Structure 1
Amino acid sequence: MAIGLFGVAAIWLSQDPRSSRRRWSPVLGLAAQPFWFYTTWRAHQYGIFALSFFYTFSWARGFVAHWVRRPV
């Protein structure tokens, strides 16, 4: 349930025309990642488990862009 809630909200916000809302997309995407890791590991879906690292890296990149390196 958490994967669906956080994942869909992250994708939805990533397409929002307002940057003030769009910046929350990587936060929610990162919030979903622990659930992806746990679920895929428990289900022995090691390919998706490995892909989760790439998704985590991508969401972290967005987090840095929107929260750490704020434009002046």
Structure 2
Amino acid sequence: MSVSFDTVAQIGITLLGVTSIFLVAKKIRWGFVIGLLSQPFWFFTTFHHKQWGIFFLNFVYTGTWILGVYEWFYKKKNRKGRQ
């Protein structure tokens, strides 16, 4: 039995997406990194299935995850969230 890359992408989207949202909701900065790691799966699956609206929206999502990484890892600020 062979597993398609589309199936791997769907699993990656599910696992990484749920994990990232949970961590961000708990104010754990690693959620932004995991969210960013999910983006290649989103780009692949939306391109593969020709879902052009979501494909272009992924650029916004990617930018938002990058902003979160910058804010929580590089910007000097007092934070009350967990590291």
Distance 2:22 2:46 in 1: 23
Residue 25 of structure 2 is matched in structure 1 by 15
Distance 1:70 1:34 in 2: 29
Q: Any residues of structure 2 matched to 1:22-61 within 5 Å, and which?
A: 22-61=28-67
Name the amino acid aligned to 1:36. W
Going by fraction, where is helix more abundant, 1 or 2?
A: 1
Give the C-alpha shift of residue 15 in structure 1: 1.1
Residue 4 of structure 1 is matched in structure 2 by 14
Name the amino acid aligned to 1:14. V
Q: For this pair of structures, how many residues does the alignment match?
A: 68
Aligned identity (percent) is: 41
Name the amino acid aligned to 1:49. F
Q: Give the ranges of 4+ consecutive aligned residues of structure 1 lying more than 3 Å apart after TM superposition.
A: none
For structure 1, list consecutive stretches of 5 or more residues without a partner in the other structure.
none
Which is higher, the Rg of structure 1 or of structure 2? 2
Distance 1:58 1:44 in 2: 23
For structure 2, list consecutive stretches of 5 or more residues without a partner in the other structure.
1-10, 79-83
Name the amino acid aligned to 1:45. Q
For the pair 1:71 / 2:81, whether they are aligned, the reply is no
